[in-house]
Amino acid sequence: MEKRYAIGVDYGTESGRALLVDIATGEEVATHVTPYPHGVIDETLPGTGRKLEHDWALQHPEDYLEVLRRSIPEVLRASGVSPERVIGIGIDFTACTMMPLDAAGTPLCLVGNWKDNPHSWVKLWKHHAAQEEANLINAKAGERGELFLARYGGRLSSEWMLPKALQILNEAPDIYAEADCFMEAADWVIMQMTGSFVRSSCTAGYKGTWHKRDGFPSDAFLASLDERFKDFATEKLRGPILPLGAKAGELNEQMAALTGLEPGTAVAVGNVDAHAMVPAVGVVTPGKLVLAMGTSTCHLLLSDKEVHAEGIAGVVEDGIVAGYYGYEAGQSAVGDIFAWYVNESVPAYVQQHAKEEGIGVHEWLERRAAQQKPGESGLLALDWWNGNRSVLMDSDLTGVMVGMTLQTKPEEIYRALLEATAFGTRKIIEAFQDGGVQVDELYACGGLPQRNRLLMQIYADVTGREIRIADSTQTAALGAAMFGAVAAGVEAGGYDSVADAAKNMARVREESFKPMAKNVETYNALYEEYVKLHDYFGRGGNDIMKRLKALKSG
Ligand SMILES: Nc1ncnc2c1ncn2[C@@H]1O[C@H](COP(=O)(O)OP(=O)(O)O)[C@@H](O)[C@H]1O
Ligand SMILES: O=C(CO)[C@@H](O)[C@@H](O)COP(=O)(O)O
């Protein structure tokens, strides 16, 4: 039988990439990355020069179509695969990355003069300027005993849909009123590809506070936040919500012309980037925690029971793999913290040495840091450079580094930052375990595990567990392609379920990272100190981070 292929398109923070995959084997035949022409918009609004406030992060919706326009033809060209052999497409996206649309489905930032107001643009997942709204939602939901709150670890993140939309209502009521609806970028791109106005159970569940049986938070609750917000769910989040694995529709003529694919190609319901990675590392059963490590880290776990505990950013039935409760937790910055250090803080001599040795600054620092023993630098950091998404759920928390002296070296700071993110992950694992959700095995995927071996050894040592690594550098796109194959269905040469797709298409590497006993011991001691710092700054012992932030905002 002739080979069949699927395409997965992974929409990350800085770029989007397409991956063309052999459906029978999971072989990754061709890949292409399109950096977003406008990148992350966090300083000035395009076309206006208007300065954005602290904690804002926007994107340009046309960049998403640019990824389809450039990367899909390129994977077809590079692979030589003819379009009719591509039977399904799936996409995955960062989330909650949301936008207001007009009645024709056009983002308001592309309509008339709305572009001059930053609230008309796409709010990227890491837009952190809705913390006040998140605080209000959490306080009101707590007071009213709203049941949904427990499914989100007792606190909604400021990154999620409700706080972001409420911020628009508060600061730009005209845009809120003008918006016919709000949509996750994942669902919007699917609508552009197929013409189908459908939402994904994954984006709706984790980010939109939707529940399979209870639906969205009630009108009464929404009205308790602001009378004008009463109809938010029924009007502005309206539309059918389809489960993962379902077909959203078929590629329309316009998108077929744009991408070079055949009209009528099956298109899967949109997925979230981290969630798509789970079946792509072969995880389709409970107890296996997947660390999706990139700009941020998401921690994903399947279970056959629903429990509510601090540290769980969301639990959604069928939210990752049908038939299980899917749990998500996360750290809002991981790779982004290392990027901050490399871009903003290393001395010129480090860059010079790296250049002379013909390696990148990350690699140079990693090599040096690998020569140190745990604890040797006397440094300890908190991993809150972009707030805390689990277990404290507070984007007003900031970074800390303790123990610096005149002898402190750049590689020591780099290592302390790697370690801080590992401690943050251990805290999340303990939160799952303490909450009664079993974690038996660890799997790592995303951009970081294959780029930084020291990082993975530190994670094994800090958690005291073996870590298996995905065999793909494009795990999210592979997962998206798997859902594309499921949308196409077994009759077209695809699969009936993502579990079936995973049997043939998912892979992990032979090599794993195993904890080293001596390191584990030192890290146990350091972790105790981390927990003390964490609780001191994060649980009200000293609110200095919030006071400083308030001063900064003026
Ligand atoms: N060698 C490295 N060591 C540690 N971090 C790295 C290294 N190379 C790149 N990074 C970080 O990895 C992150 C990108 O991860 P990736 O998974 O590719 O992207 P995304 O999360 O947007 O999908 C960036 O924050 C970057 O700074
Ligand atoms: O929040 C989620 C998933 O729930 C992510 O989309 C978000 O952390 C961004 O992920 P990346 O770090 O860009 O891979």
Please enumerate in sequence order all residues whose Cβ is within 8 A of that of 543, keeping only pairs 6 or more positions apart, or say none. none
The side-by-side arrangement of strands in the sheet containing 181-184 is: 58-59, 122-123, 98-101, 181-184
Q: Which of 22, 83, 108, 99 is nearest to 255 (CA)?
A: 83
Ligand 2 pocket residue status of 326, Cβ below 6 Å: no
Q: What is the ipTM of this complex?
A: 0.96
pLDDT tens-digit readout, 478-511 = 999 999 999 999 999 999 999 999 999 998 999 9
- Point out the ligand 2 atom lying closest to the alpha carbon of residue 125: 7
Pocket of ligand 1 (CB under 6 A): 12-14, 294-295, 335-336, 338-339, 362-363, 446-448, 451-452
Confidence at residue 17, expressed as pLDDT on a 0 to 100 scale: 98
The Cα 202–Cα 230 span in angstroms is 23
The Cα 316–Cα 320 span in angstroms is 8
Strands 86-93 and 266-268: parallel
pLDDT tens-digit readout, 449-462 = 999 999 999 999 99
Whether the pLDDT of residue 549 is over 80: the answer is yes
Which stretches of 242-347 are DSSP H helices? Answer: 253-259, 273-280, 335-344
Ligand 1 centre to CA of 448 (Å) is 5
Ligand 2 pocket residue status of 59, Cβ below 6 Å: no
Q: What is the mean pLDDT of residues 513-523?
A: 98
Whether the pLDDT of residue 14 is over 80: the answer is yes
Confidence at residue 381, expressed as pLDDT on a 0 to 100 scale: 98
Ligand 2 pocket residue status of 272, Cβ below 6 Å: yes
> For the chain, what are the domain ranges?
5-274+476-506
Ligand nearest to the CA of 272: 2
Confidence at residue 365, expressed as pLDDT on a 0 to 100 scale: 98
Ligand 2 centre to CA of 203 (Å) is 12
Q: Which of 31, 338, 413, when mutated, tests ligand 1's pocket best, judged by the most ligand atoms within 8 Å of its CB?
A: 338
Whether the pLDDT of residue 1 is over 90: the answer is no
**Annotation: CATH topology of 5-274+476-506:** Nucleotidyltransferase; domain 5 (3.30.420)
Ligand nearest to the CA of 186: 2
Distance of CA 271 to the CA centre of its chain: 11
3-state secondary structure of 99: strand
Please enumerate in sequence order all residues whose Cβ is within 8 A of that of 292, keeping only pairs 6 or more positions apart, or say none. 273, 274, 277, 298, 299, 300, 445, 446, 475, 476
The Cα 99–Cα 160 span in angstroms is 12
Cβ–Cβ < 8 Å for 129, 56 = yes
Ligand nearest to the CA of 341: 1
Q: What is the mean pLDDT of residues 187-202?
A: 98
pLDDT tens-digit readout, 26-55 = 999 999 999 999 999 999 999 888 999 999
Please enumerate in sequence order all residues whose Cβ is within 8 A of that of 28, keeping only pairs 6 or more positions apart, or say none. 19, 20, 21, 472, 474, 478
